[in-house]
Chains A and B, each alone.
Chain A
């Protein structure tokens, strides 16, 4: 079983719909991250959290919100999806400030 699990793995939705991507981890890590991947742009940080009461904006937080429900769960929401939010979304976990990140399998979102 994967240590970092994302659901759904694939989702097609329409403009204006609310979408939630969920991430859960069994690694016991405090730090959790949401990244977005677009071809040629690498991975861009949307939000990150260092514990349940800590939420921080990343490079591209506009149009997104997050919730850290528990140490093991970090969800990403698109309140009103738009086509340019079509992308591959990755959740990641980490232990220390400069340590490696462990990525989930990704959630591919298509907004029509």
Chain B
């Protein structure tokens, strides 16, 4: 089936350091969504990117969609302990009907 690879699987940073997670697909994507799941919680929608080359910001979070619509990244500037959790990308593939496929997630741990 359709797959989306997300790296890294884990990232441990010192508070104040930056963090980036990447999502890659071998096929062209219709759009990409990003979710955050706090420890013990449920995934919560952060943002959706639709256009080629799109960049969106939410405070310290910057989301990018690749020019070829096959990859995306989430960058957090100056991490805080409140950023702890697992970040997932989720994609609709052009040829995969209505299924939303999630990446494996990147678990972010922040040391105070």
A15 within 8 Å of B (CB atoms): no
A2 to chain B: closest residue by CB: B42
A99 to chain B: closest residue by CB: B48
B31 within 8 Å of A (CB atoms): yes
B6 within 8 Å of A (CB atoms): yes
Asked if B104 and A42 sit within 8 Å, CB to CB, the answer is yes
At the interface, is chain B mostly helix, strand, loop or mixed? strand
The number of A-B residue pairs with CB atoms under 8 Å apart is 55
Q: How far is the CA of A102 from the CA of B46 in the complex (A)?
A: 11
- Contacts A42-B103, A98-B31; A90 near B42 (Cβ below 8 A): yes
Residues on A lying within 8 angstroms of B by beta carbon are 33, 35, 40-45, 48, 50, 56, 58-59, 90, 97-106
Min distance, Cβ A106 to any Cβ of chain B, angstroms:
5
Q: How far is the CA of A103 from the CA of B45 in the complex (A)?
A: 9
Q: How far is the CA of A50 from the CA of B97 in the complex (A)?
A: 12
Min distance, Cβ B112 to any Cβ of chain A, angstroms:
24
Residues of chain A contacted by B102 (CB below 8 angstroms): 35, 42-44
Point out the residue from A58, A59, A98 that lies within 8 Å of B92, measured CB to CB.
A98
Asked if A41 and B44 sit within 8 Å, CB to CB, the answer is no
